A = this chain, B = another copy of it.
Amino acid sequence: MPLGERGGWDKSESRYCGVETDFNDDMPQLLSFNLSTGGFDFVVATLMDPSYRPSMMEKGSSVSHVLPFAGSDLVLSPSQWSSHIVGKISSWIDLDSEDEILRMDSETTLKQEIAWASHLSLQACLLPSPKGASCANYARCVNQILQSLNNMQLWLRIPLVKNDDDSMDCDQLSDSWELWNSFRLHCEHHSQLSIALDVLSSLPSANSLGRWFGEPVRAAIIYTDSFLTNARGYPCLSRCHQKLVTGFFNHSIQIVISGKLVHSLPGVSSDSAADNIGNNIESAHRHPLRPYLDYIAYLYQRMDPLHEQERFELGYRDYLQSPLQPLMDNLEAQTYETFEKDLVKYIQYQRAIGKALLDRVPDEEASSLTTVLMVVGAGRGPLVRASLQAAEETGRKLKVYAVEKNPNAVVTLHSLVRLEGWGNMVTIVSCDMRHWDAPEKADILVSELLGSFGDNELSPECLEGAQRFLKQDGISIPSSYTSFIQPVTASKLHNSIKSHKDLVHFETAYVVKVHSVARLAPSQAVFTFTHPNFSTKKSNQRYKRLRFEIPVDTGSAMVHGFTGYFDATLYKDVHLGIEPSTATPNMFSWFAIFFPLRKPVCIQPGSTLEVHFWRCCGSTKVWYEWCVASPYPSPIHNSNGRSYWVGL
């Protein structure tokens, strides 16, 4: 039974909670006890008798021997198998043992168990954690399995461990992320290989934990002995654990409870009950782990309901979109509709225009002086409205030219002017701003041509064309904008791109509501453009070298690419932007942009990530190129804009 509901919006997997059980050859009883009595949604159950070893089987009987599975596939219905059972692979297997017989037994057993689980159409199997720091043979075997697996996920169990003292004992695992990283690199980021984190009683630093939210974690296994005891004797979690579990909920990571009852609750005899989890259960009226489940459900239900913007964005999380090309293509009504709803954005514009009007026209000339304002890229009129409202608010006289190249939007503009009675103040110009022959020069040039990465929808080129009809002392709103990037772990985005199996998708920037990412360092400024710019030597080409320092307590981390943002100064102190540390609240017109890396780059603790970004301009297009120079040099991405460009 699900942990709870968050206003009916969140259909996340994390509503379901599981329990890890011991081997039981009576699967129906196991299921009934844990689901009906216990209230869990699924069990993580061993499929094969733990005493089984292929090398101990009698030779000669090889034709007919039956594997020690827990009953036949008929003991449960197919939907019970697939909805309620996660197969737990025998935990004794050790494919990297020095003992060759154990190694061979492990390989045989692993392949047999996965084959059986596939036969049952289980949704997932839990693979035991690698036994040592070396995992190449285990990874090789799992990789072979992955090549021809049905839809089943393989959850590699990884203890959530990171020692900060960095002791150089090679065999001692100091950061379990490294183990995961080796394993998945050997398996080439296979999309069916994911993680089940073992949450222990002590937790690594927040920076170190953060990495996992960019990795494909599907489940978090919490041990009963990681729970504290509250005043009334019931289990609860530390504040750090609570925060982590909330993070899991927000990232569709399912909780699994594991272990025995270690809290003595009123009316429950802990020892005898504990023995009943997987075995003889007739006598137990109440599931011994129920209190832990209840606490997890409490944490789930306690979360804030999703607010409107979150609900809007839910469907877009980690979904890659190609950036708009508003200069080459004409936007559709639907797109205008969406952007026009972003009230916060237009309030900022109105404030900026108001301030500019006040600076431009002193109070004593308010009734005599008419300011000429041109909206370039007027679309269906929201900036025209903001301009007129700013004029009214500041008591300044305004003459507006609304320049728009999309003839379809111009139709709406005309109708709007008629409807609103703006005829005497607004002149509509159906023309590309770069080619318009303006009848007079403007005091203020207002535009909203910014993309998620600032200049990526060619605002610089458009405004360069438009500033011909701006007075020498005129004002451009925005007056400047800067792009930012930040290195991230984003295995989900990486795998989405990889699924296309081509170069082009790895050299394209995407607009995306980033959610399952780990932000590894604060963002840094990339390119800045200032308007107007009447210099004769100006160029819209840009080149920037950036060095990111990953906090030492993060540990090693994988960089799958860079999320990009912008921040724009509309006028003086009025800004607008999505750079996380300064983002304008409650604005939804822009998601981040994502620049992928063809080969993810692994950063060691304390080392520097050096990145180069170029904005290149040709006669018909503008494009970005990017590369990593350190810790090791990557190919230059998107050379000559071969994969991704914005048309002029």
Contact = CB atoms under 8 A, between A and B. Distances in A.
Interface of A: 59, 103-104, 134, 136-137, 139-140, 143-144, 147-148, 181-182, 185-188, 536, 539, 541, 543, 545, 599, 602, 612, 614, 625, 627, 629, 632-636, 639-640, 642
Contact of A632 (B185, B541, B633, B635): B185
Residue among A181, A602, A614 with the most chain B CB within 10 A? A614
A245 to B, nearest CB: 31
Interface of A, helix, strand, loop or mixed by DSSP? mixed
A187 B636 contact: yes
A636 B545 contact: no
B140 A186 contact: no
Contact of A140 (B147, B602, B636): B636
Contacts of A636: 136, 139-140, 143, 186-188
A539 B105 CA distance: 13
B633 A182 contact: yes
Q: Which 9 A-B pairs have the closest CB atoms?
A: A185-B633, A182-B633, A188-B635, A136-B612, A143-B636, A136-B629, A140-B636, A143-B639, A186-B636
20 contacts: A104-B539, A104-B541, A134-B545, A136-B545, A136-B612, A136-B627, A137-B612, A140-B627, A143-B639, A144-B640, A182-B629, A185-B632, A185-B634, A186-B629, A186-B633, A186-B634, A186-B635, A186-B636, A188-B635, A599-B599
Nearest to A134: B629
A633 B134 CA distance: 11
A148 B640 contact: yes
A627 B147 contact: no
Contacts of A147: 639-640, 642
Contacts of A185: 632-635
Given A140-B639, A147-B642, 4 more contacts: A136-B627, A143-B636, A186-B634, A188-B636
A154 to B, nearest CB: 14
Contacts of A545: 134, 136
Contact of A625 (B140, B539, B625, B629): B140
A143 to B, nearest CB: 5
Contacts of A634: 185-186
B627 A186 contact: yes
Contacts of A186: 627, 629, 633-636
A317 B67 CA distance: 54
Contacts of A639: 140, 143-144, 147
Contact of A181 (B137, B148, B633): B633
Contacts of A103: 543
A147 B636 CA distance: 12
Nearest to A101: B537
A52 to B, nearest CB: 19
Contacts of A188: 635-636
Nearest to A598: B188
A148 to B, nearest CB: 7
A640 B134 CA distance: 21
Contacts of A59: 536
B134 A632 contact: no
Nearest to A107: B541
A608 to B, nearest CB: 11
Contacts of A104: 539, 541
